[in-house]
A and B are shown apart, each in its own frame.
Chain A
Amino acid sequence: MSHVALRGVTRVYPGKTPVHALGPLDLELAPGEFFAVVGPSGCGKSTLLDVMAGLASPSAGEVLFENRNVKGQVPDGIGVVFQEDASFPWLTVHDNIAFGLRRTGAPAAEVAAQVGYAIEFMGLKEFAQAYPAQLSGGMRQRVCIARTLVLKPRLILLDEPFGALDQQTRLLMGDELLRLWRETGATILLITHSLDEAAMLADRVGVMSARPGRFLELIATGWPRGRDSTIVASESFGRLTSRIWTLLRGESLRAMGHA
């Protein structure tokens, strides 16, 4: 049984000259799977995320989340973390994280407990009463992840969440993401432009073509569930990334206009 299923999903941006951004595209994610998407710039990765989250409707085809059609509205149980800073500058770290939980009408004691746990889990304890403006970019991204986490989403969609961070922070954030994945048991779809990140984190990597984005190949990484960033030094990691790159190179050239 699949947790998420995409069937013939296509997205065309209407207009004088309609832009065919995505698909048709099929994908099945198993419950608790960590799936990464890599692809050349402008191949429709973010469009894919918007359609899966219900932030945009597919022009054709359907997205099923827990066997229910996702269309134009974000269903309960899906959490999204964006590349851009989405923390609320007028709220403290604590109130940022509590934002969604308070909306659900959960009792104050439970909100406090959940938020306290998320703050601890994401290493934000010293900053609970700070405002986002006082934090670094990486810290703010943690706040956004924690805000998603407390809602206990069963599917977490991440759109290049570490794109704005430096390489060392990215690797460490990758470790935290793996820890979070194991702890929550959620299904994760991670969009990234970093081949290393995809190869290190995911159970399977979907390699996308230049626009209109389609999957060229779905590569199983074969990593154990208890993996961490130290695998980047292993030999099979190198083989994996070179395989992904071989697939992507031609597409990236096409995306840059060198057909």
Chain B
Amino acid sequence: MPNALIVRIAIVVIAVGLLELLCRLGVIPNFTMIPPSAMAQSLWKILASGKFSHDIAATLVNVGIAIVAAMAAGVAAGTALQGWPAARRTLDPLFATYYAVPMYAFYPLLIVIFGLGDFPQVAIGFLLAVMAVIINTLNGLDRVPAVLLKTARVHRLGPLAAAWRVRLPYAAPYVFTGFKLAVAYSFIGVIGAEFITSSRGIGYEISFAYNNFDNPVMYAMILFILLLVITVNMSLHVWEKRLLSRRRRA
């Protein structure tokens, strides 16, 4: 096992152990935080009982929709904009300030437009995620060497075929970075929106438990989100590394 990995695991184990100890000794009172072992136990019970299966499924579906929509729309918009410099110049200030806009401020507006269903949550997840895909797609496409574009023309590829067969494959590592961010932003957007107004979902259940001083449920669901997001991102990271290893010099 590589040293860095051992150190990493050690840090997590020590931190969790310390937290456990402080909770058990009463340094951290139980109404503030429950010991990690109790969180795990509670989470296990919740998952086994299937009590929140409906909420977990709702959140995952909404996050999934936001991710897929952001990926598709982001790549399409990025590719189109890269081939249309005038539009890109016009929209550039928007790109630069996009993430300065607190997306949640639009929540009331989204509810007015989309009503009270799952749609506002998906919309916030999508809005947060899509710009990361657009920006990274543009960045990748800007780096395609001129000689590869010429090669596409020598192979008599039209604009769409050139984008699909040459430009996007070349830009893939950058687009992938955009996808990774899109996954993270979609989770943030959807779960955050569930906190505000929603009648189901992981975020809603955490908020509900919080309002009812139900620490075992609240911490169990926080732990669940942590494990979920870490697992998803680690898997993406491993996949990305495998993709990149081919393209790097040995």
Interface residues of A (CB under 8 A from B): 53, 55, 73-74, 76, 78-80, 82, 84-86, 88-91, 99-100, 103, 131, 133-134
Contact = CB atoms under 8 A, between A and B. Distances in A.
A82 B246 contact: no
Contacts of A76: 156
Contact of B169 (A55, A73, A88): A88
Interface in B230-250: 246-250
B246 A90 contact: yes
Contacts of B100: none
Q: What is the interface of chain B mostly: helix, strand, loop, or mixed?
A: helix
B15 to A, nearest CB: 39
Contact of B154 (A78, A85, A90): A78
B155 A133 contact: no
A74 B248 contact: no
Contacts of B150: 55, 80, 82, 86
Given A85-B147, A134-B250, A99 B155 contact: yes
B166 A88 contact: yes
Given A55-B150, A82-B151, A88 B247 contact: no
Interface of B: 145, 147-148, 150-151, 153-157, 161, 165-166, 169-170, 172, 246-250
17 contacts: A53-B154, A55-B153, A55-B154, A76-B156, A79-B154, A80-B150, A80-B151, A86-B147, A86-B148, A88-B148, A90-B169, A99-B155, A100-B155, A103-B156, A133-B248, A133-B249, A134-B250
A73 B156 CA distance: 8
Contacts of A85: 147
Closest 9 CB pairs of A and B: A84-B147, A131-B246, A86-B151, A134-B250, A80-B154, A86-B147, A90-B169, A89-B247, A100-B155
Nearest to A80: B154
